[in-house]
Structure 1
Amino acid sequence: MLRVLSALLREDVVGLRTRSTLVEESDGRWLRLPYTYGGDGDGGYENALLLPVTEDGFQSEYAARLPLLRRASDGRELTGTDAVLRALRALADPVDRAGFDAFAEECRQTAATLRLHDRVRAEVTGRLAERYGADTAYWSYARSLGFDALAAFHDHPVYPTSRGRSGLDESELRAYAPEFHEDVAPRWLVLPREAVTESGGGPAEAYSYLWPTPASLGMPELRDTHTVLPVHPLTVGTPLDEALRATGLEGRAFLAEATPIALVPTLSMRTLADRTYPLLHVKLPLATATLGLRNRRTIKPGTLADGAACQLLLSQVIAREPRFQDTVLLADERRYAHAGHELLAVLLRSYPEHLQNSVLVPMAALLAGAPDGRLVIDQLADRFYDGDPVALLDACLTLLFDWQTTLFGYGIALESHQQNISLALDQDRATGTTRLRLVLKDNDGPRINTARLSRALGELPARIDEFDDERIFCASDDPLVDLFTTITVHLCAGSYAFGLAGHGRAPLDDLLRLVRDRLSEAFDRLGGEPAELLRDRVLNAERLPVKAMVSAGTLLSKERSGAADINKHYTTGPNYLLVGTGSR
């Protein structure tokens, strides 16, 4: 409940932030929200709501201090998600109230998931320790998928109901959610060849050992006329039937009974990995949603083309910047297939094979609990950074900021959040020197300032027109700054400063100074007008853009929020990196 109230305050839902007055009470600070509201069975009355708050500093001046609201008229305390959201719902515009109902259900589902996690966490982490060992610093290659399970028990830095999955019951979570680390057997759909678009040679041709054929699925008569697509088991049933009807494939596509392979879910849940060769991922659409009711886990065919086109563009930048050629690695996402529908698609992702001897850990797992009760980052630091987790963070930020600011100079910003960036850690056997590299995936939602890109390259890349989503291209740097700040700065840097400070690993002042210093050094390396722009808009700005994820993802329709992209809808928050801010 605290995370929910803090998110609603940060996003200024019903004016919690901008229309409230700060009042001091004997037990601390409260925000007083004066409104006239009524209906919803309460008979209508004049009242104000009081929210107990404490200083926050990370993306919001204040966070909820207690999990409740208080009615000023009679002192009644409203506790529990349903009561709190019902009170706020009454203040919302009537056209938005259905969003509050949906968010209440989202909160209930998440609460049930959290209770389930509390019951099973020790059992699951015990199984992981038995299978892979208790020390995650040695989870290389075939053990690396264990990090996804650990990360799935850890909350998103900002979104309050991140562990919920829309519409899934406990049995489905246990069978398919990444935290349970169970095998998942994809179903196989046999389709007419002419209905399927393939790219990169097609996944079946590249990985024939993994891909069945119509004949091996028991349909030899279709061997020359049909091909196969994998389908996530959760998509089978009504969602798949509706997709086949929508594409005119009903009666022409056949769902095989055989399930010849088993894979294991990664953190994204819709992406499955080969347990024996975890550098190979199969990304399948799901009809469920995470991080907001509207944030569906389907795969629009156009995003497959966008990911492949962005991979090519990033490869061109790396070729021009030699220092990144062995420090920033790209997962290969050029092989995919689809049948013209967001539930009839597959992406085959492969990581560079020379990572087999590295510990490959998604950034999202760094602050997760390891099987022995410590943090993953502590175990990694013990092996690779003389027991200093801040030194590990320092090395990560130095490379990350250098890479992302260099991209900004080319007019590119990536939505490379904690789940989309992994750290590859290994040691030189002769010298014992630690090497840290970044590995990027899922780069299908960038923002590109084409004018800046053409100036940096001398011309636009020949295949820039292979991007499908027109929202990717912009005529100014504003969308790039928003993306750089909300993803690279907030999620991949600031959240670790506040997180490590919260775990007592270092004082918050020191960790924020580290983030600020590494950013400043990266801006110095970049130089010129783009560096000054970033310095002005990130380090020296009074306020920074902040993702309004709950508002755009669940509470408000796109028409009401005005969000062209629900993952790129913003409000503002205080700049915790500004020198001399009162929060430090």
Structure 2
Amino acid sequence: MNATPASDGRPRPTASGACDTQSPDTQERETVPRQKGGGQEAERLHASTVDFLEHPDAATAAQAAAVENLLRCWVRENDIAPPSLGVLRIPLPASGTGLLVPVHYWSPTGWHRFGLPYLDSGPHGAPCVDAVTLAALLGRESALPGPPSEQQTGAVAPEQLSAELGAAPFGGSGGPSADSGDLVGRVADSVRRTAEFIADRRHRPADDPDRFLAAEQSLLLGHPLHPTPKSREGLSEAEARLYSPESRGSFPLHWLAVAPEALAHDSAWTERGRTVTAPDLTSQLVGPGLALPAGHAALPLHPWQMRELRHRPAVAALLDAGLLTDLGPHGEPWFPTSSVRTLYRPGAPAMLKLSLGLRITNSRRENLRKELHRGVEVHRLLRSGLAEQWRAAHPGFDIVRDPAWLAVDLPDGAPALGLDVMIRNNPFGPEDDVSCIAGFVSPRPPADEPASTGRTPVVSRLETTITGLAARTGRPRGAVSAEWFLRYLEHVVRPVLWLDSEAGIALEAHQQNTLLLLDPEGWPVGGRYRDNQGYYFRESHRAALDQRLPGIGTQSDTFVSDEVTDERFAYYLAINNVLGLIGAFGSQQLADERLLLAAFRRFLTETATGPARLHSPLPSRLLDSPTLRCKANLLTRLHGLDELVGPVDTQSVYVTIANPLHS
């Protein structure tokens, strides 16, 4: 008999001992040899051929997504080679056991597809390992000192291991650190929220008619190589529904009036050749009916942030002194975009990047003063003539500008952290087909399927676009995918390389920061970059950039050594963005990743040596180096690092991985 998933979404064993997370009416299975100790047993490890993300129970689908994320992180961060058979064995020396993981698809670029894992030492019929247990196991491994060959381990009975993980998942000698316990809690939070998002989207599949907003709300599963992509500790369930783009939340802003002596601001925003100040911009966004004290500026805040700020002594003192006046919530609703804290309102001339003291992925999302300066500085730099040069070479690409900001200073002149807003230009109309790459490639359920099917399909916008183009052109999906990818390289990647080549500015162009513009048929025609945090001004170009904009970098702290710039640029543009896109094509069975890697190599070769050669060092680095440095999101989380704190070269953990582009 086959057991159905429990209400908590954790997989349960079948009578034959296989882990059952498949739909009730689907019995097809594949078998792969099961290994124990040093030899093979006749008994087989059963792996469902059903995609667990399509399970009709949203909690089970969320568990499967979280397990795959953790396993992808572990495989990448330990540079694990592909298994020779259809099962991957991951040794767990700290626990005296190992994991057996069914491999449904092995990706040369890291977007693997896995079934749910078993403990190698577990009895026949034991349940599969769920995401929370997997996080505890991997955290325990990461806490061991020294290389695996030097780690002191001993076999632990499965019953004892389960008891230890359940009773004290992050205590004891040789066990995980406190940050491993933090990982476990955040994985649980991420799984719970992902399940809620999946269930909500299955019942309300229709997208918002505003195409930009619909795209921003589509990233249901998050970063496929992050252990806690949807963790938002500090939000209640009711708040999460209001403040999450995945649940299509919306809410009015909370407004403060700021006295002139506490106000800090800057603006390079122009209208009809006249600079518009940041206070004038926010006044335009308030809407009618809000009584603002004379001479004060209107400061918009996220409602959750205002609730948090009330308890900070510095903010309470500003309120008591009358330097801040609480005006309460007011105005039309704003919509959270994929970053959660950047808000959009259809028809408004600006978006607002607000401070939000929640930990989202690896950081508390409160604006830093240097980031506010950086946004305005980049806008002024582009207006120095650089933008005209860039548009002449690549008219379809630009940066979404952050040309103004508003903040509060304490009486001693120090910034009041958490009381600041970046005002971002909104260049998009409701009909513009623009999507961040992360949301474009993320699988999501399009609608409820009839219960009799026992599955809810997950389809990405990438898949529907390629399938539609193939149907219209009568060509195979693989051929369409290759052409689509080549156009993406020309219209999105080459312009980013141009900016590094000509100006010494590398962009942190990961998939969520990169916006793709499509023509009416679905082909790439351009792109936009967004993020006032993600700029690397090369130290080697300091003099040239200072000549363009005297004093550049003084307040923004944006100059970075070429060595660190090379490492970060290779990760964000090449590994996260382009190789991640290739992985999406492969894992969604749209194209052979090896062919797309070959196409990327040809593009890089032409960029590095052809007639239109660019002088960015990235193409040669990608072609020549057998290894690459790659951000390790799991290790960064286990080390408790906040990527917005400290020097740029120590904000996150990087590891060395094999370069899939290297011949």
Partner of 2:361: 291
1:364 maps onto 2:452 in alignment? no
Aligned equivalent of 1:116, options 180, 196, 201: 196
Aligned equivalent of 2:215, options 140, 143, 147: 147
Offset at 1:336? 0.9
Q: How does 1:130-529 map to 2 (within 5 A)?
A: 131-132=208-209, 142-150=210-218, 152-200=219-267, 201-206=276-281, 208-211=283-286, 216-218=289-291, 222-224=293-295, 226-242=296-312, 244-245=314-315, 248-252=318-322, 253-277=324-348, 280-292=350-362, 295-315=363-383, 316-324=385-393, 326-339=395-408, 340-352=415-427, 358-368=432-442, 369=444, 371=446, 374-380=459-465, 388-409=480-501, 410-426=503-519, 436-452=525-541, 454=543, 457=544, 460-470=547-557, 472-475=558-561, 477-524=562-609
Letter in 2 for 1:330: I
Offset from partner CA, 1:111-169 (integer Å, 9 cap, x none): 1012212311123323x2xx52xxxxxxxxx432111111x214313213212222223
| Residues 69 and 78, structure 1, Cα contact 8 Å, conserved in 2 | yes
Offset from partner CA, 1:52-103 (integer Å, 9 cap, x none): 4758455669986643444599998882344334444445167960000000
CA, structure 1 residues 113+370, in 2 after alignment: closer, same or farther (shift >3 Å)? Answer: closer
CA, structure 1 residues 549+542, in 2 after alignment: closer, same or farther (shift >3 Å)? Answer: same
Offset from partner CA, 1:507-553 (integer Å, 9 cap, x none): 2222222222222222235877945x434421221111111122224
| CA distance, structure 2, for counterparts of residue 530 and residue 190 of structure 1 | 49
| CA distance, structure 1, for counterparts of residue 341 and residue 489 of structure 2 | 29
CA, structure 1 residues 5+206, in 2 after alignment: closer, same or farther (shift >3 Å)? Answer: same
| Residues 242 and 251, structure 2, Cα contact 8 Å, conserved in 1 | yes
Offset at 1:33? 4.6
Compute the TM-score of the two structures, normalised by the length of structure 2.
Answer: 0.71
Letter in 2 for 1:174: R
Q: Secondary structure at the match of 1:305?
A: helix
Q: Secondary structure at the match of 2:359?
A: coil
CA, structure 1 residues 396+260, in 2 after alignment: closer, same or farther (shift >3 Å)? Answer: same
| Residues 8 and 550, structure 1, Cα contact 8 Å, conserved in 2 | yes
CA, structure 1 residues 31+269, in 2 after alignment: closer, same or farther (shift >3 Å)? Answer: closer
Q: Secondary structure at the match of 1:447?
A: strand
Aligned equivalent of 1:8, options 62, 74, 80: 74
CA, structure 1 residues 359+546, in 2 after alignment: closer, same or farther (shift >3 Å)? Answer: same
Partner of 1:550: 634
Aligned equivalent of 1:30, options 86, 89, 97: 89
Between 1:1-10 and 1:337-346, the stretch displaced more is 1-10
1:576 maps onto 2:660 in alignment? yes
Letter in 1 for 2:514: I
Offset from partner CA, 1:385-415 (integer Å, 9 cap, x none): 9563543332121122322222222322111
CA, structure 1 residues 424+541, in 2 after alignment: closer, same or farther (shift >3 Å)? Answer: same
CA, structure 1 residues 512+246, in 2 after alignment: closer, same or farther (shift >3 Å)? Answer: farther
Offset at 1:50? 4.8
1:104 maps onto 2:184 in alignment? yes
Letter in 1 for 2:405: Y
| CA distance, structure 1, for counterparts of residue 111 and residue 587 of structure 2 | 17
| CA distance, structure 2, for counterparts of residue 558 and residue 117 of structure 1 | 26
Q: Secondary structure at the match of 1:116?
A: helix
Offset at 1:489? 1.0
| Residues 414 and 447, structure 1, Cα contact 8 Å, conserved in 2 | yes
Compute the TM-score of the two structures, normalised by the length of structure 1.
Answer: 0.79
Q: Secondary structure at the match of 2:365?
A: coil
Tell me which structure has the larger Cα radius of gyration: 2
Offset at 1:322? 4.7
| Residues 70 and 77, structure 1, Cα contact 8 Å, conserved in 2 | no
Letter in 2 for 1:332: R
Letter in 2 for 1:229: L
Partner of 1:139: none
CA, structure 1 residues 108+79, in 2 after alignment: closer, same or farther (shift >3 Å)? Answer: same
Q: Secondary structure at the match of 2:251?
A: coil
Equivalent pairs counted in the alignment come to: 530
Offset at 1:235? 1.1
| Residues 413 and 484, structure 1, Cα contact 8 Å, conserved in 2 | yes
CA, structure 1 residues 191+174, in 2 after alignment: closer, same or farther (shift >3 Å)? Answer: same
CA, structure 1 residues 442+165, in 2 after alignment: closer, same or farther (shift >3 Å)? Answer: same
Between 1:322-331 and 1:436-445, the stretch displaced more is 322-331
| CA distance, structure 1, for counterparts of residue 260 and residue 635 of structure 2 | 42
CA, structure 1 residues 562+303, in 2 after alignment: closer, same or farther (shift >3 Å)? Answer: closer
CA, structure 1 residues 485+435, in 2 after alignment: closer, same or farther (shift >3 Å)? Answer: closer
Letter in 2 for 1:366: F
Partner of 1:42: none
| CA distance, structure 2, for counterparts of residue 63 and residue 503 of structure 1 | 10
CA, structure 1 residues 397+154, in 2 after alignment: closer, same or farther (shift >3 Å)? Answer: farther
Identity of aligned residues (%): 20
Offset from partner CA, 1:327-369 (integer Å, 9 cap, x none): 222222111101123310111111336x665322222222244
Structure 2 alignment gaps of length 5 or more: 1-66, 145-173, 268-275, 409-414, 448-457, 474-479
Offset at 1:267? 0.9
| CA distance, structure 1, for counterparts of residue 468 and residue 73 of structure 2 | 36
CA, structure 1 residues 59+482, in 2 after alignment: closer, same or farther (shift >3 Å)? Answer: farther
Q: Secondary structure at the match of 1:261?
A: strand
Letter in 1 for 2:201: R
Q: Secondary structure at the match of 1:393?
A: helix
| Residues 363 and 423, structure 1, Cα contact 8 Å, conserved in 2 | yes
| CA distance, structure 2, for counterparts of residue 325 and residue 243 of structure 1 | 50
Between 1:410-419 and 1:519-528, the stretch displaced more is 519-528
CA, structure 1 residues 525+442, in 2 after alignment: closer, same or farther (shift >3 Å)? Answer: farther
| CA distance, structure 1, for counterparts of residue 340 and residue 231 of structure 2 | 12
Partner of 2:134: 84
| CA distance, structure 2, for counterparts of residue 61 and residue 506 of structure 1 | 13
Q: Secondary structure at the match of 1:465?
A: coil
| Residues 222 and 438, structure 2, Cα contact 8 Å, conserved in 1 | no
| CA distance, structure 2, for counterparts of residue 61 and residue 149 of structure 1 | 22
Offset at 1:109? 0.3
Q: How does 1:22-101 map to 2 (within 5 A)?
A: 28-35=87-94, 47-50=96-99, 52=101, 56-58=106-108, 66-71=116-121, 79-91=129-141, 92=143, 97-101=177-181
CA RMSD after TM alignment: 3.7
Offset from partner CA, 1:366-385 (integer Å, 9 cap, x none): 22448476532345457889
Q: Secondary structure at the match of 1:422?
A: strand
| Residues 641 and 652, structure 2, Cα contact 8 Å, conserved in 1 | no
Partner of 2:63: none
Structure 1 alignment gaps of length 5 or more: 38-46, 133-141, 580-584
Letter in 1 for 2:550: R
| CA distance, structure 1, for counterparts of residue 241 and residue 310 of structure 2 | 22
CA, structure 1 residues 566+170, in 2 after alignment: closer, same or farther (shift >3 Å)? Answer: farther
Partner of 2:4: none
Letter in 2 for 1:266: T
CA, structure 1 residues 528+257, in 2 after alignment: closer, same or farther (shift >3 Å)? Answer: closer
CA, structure 1 residues 523+210, in 2 after alignment: closer, same or farther (shift >3 Å)? Answer: same
Letter in 2 for 1:265: P
